[in-house]
A = this chain, B = another copy of it.
Amino acid sequence: MHSVSEENYIKTIYHLQDGKSLVSTNDIAGGMNTKASSVTDMLKKLADKNLAEYIPYKGTRLTQNGINCATQIIRKHRLWEVFLVEKLDFSWDEVHEVAEQLEHIQSRKLIDELDKLLEYPKYDPHGDPIPDAQGNYEKTAKTAISKLEKGQSGVLAGVHDTSTRFLQYLDKHQIELGTQIQLLELEAFDGSCLIKTDLKELHISKTIADNLYLKVL
């Protein structure tokens, strides 16, 4: 149907879209490790195929067509991540790279059966929701620790960064999805903060606080 390259562009645009009405060429280039000129070329192709609306010098947005395509790719990516963790003993910091490949396999039956094997999971190993076969998924409210008030607490429901380094940092400090976390102190100067889990207290930088999403209690 669509090439791997087209699918990667569609996915990147979808993720950058969120909220904004148009996604810029430069942001796409940044998100994909390519150059702006390459992006411009691809945007024209996506527009030709009715996957995106492209307004020169202004930006682009996915058509409904493109959105449907994106959610199916994301569905595949996240289901494969669950498979790798649940069935193949991968840890949550090892799955992304392989899922980037597996998400491009074309077979409707494959993904439906995989969904069944995994018993229709709702979330991937990083707490991200998995679209169903129709592309629907729930957007639960999650708040970055950096945006909490002092004293508030919640349960870790997602992470923004899914890099190996960040996930291994969390492992090291015994923080995982479902861990209950309370914000004890918030340093106004640099945004760093002191948090508390069942097991320990921990001082974290603003960067890390931005990357931990809680379901507030």
- Residues on A lying within 8 angstroms of B by beta carbon are 84, 87-90, 94, 97-98, 101-102, 105-107, 109-110, 113-114, 116-117
User: Are A110 and B87 in touch, CB under 8 angstroms?
Assistant: no
List 17 additional contacts besides A87-B117, A94-B109, A98-B107; criterion CB under 8 Å.
A84-B110, A88-B110, A88-B113, A88-B114, A88-B116, A88-B117, A89-B113, A90-B109, A97-B107, A98-B105, A98-B109, A98-B110, A101-B105, A101-B106, A101-B107, A102-B105, A105-B105
Chain B minimum-CB-distance residue to A110 = B98
Q: Complex formed: what's the CA distance from A117 to B89 in Å? A: 10
The interface residues of chain A, by DSSP majority, are classed as helix
Smallest Cβ distance from A121 to chain B, in angstroms? 15
Q: Note all chain B residues with C-beta closer than 8 A to A116.
A: 88
Q: Complex formed: what's the CA distance from A88 to B110 in Å? A: 7
Chain B minimum-CB-distance residue to A102 = B105
Closest 10 CB pairs of A and B: A88-B113, A98-B107, A101-B105, A98-B110, A87-B117, A89-B113, A88-B117, A102-B105, A88-B114, A101-B106
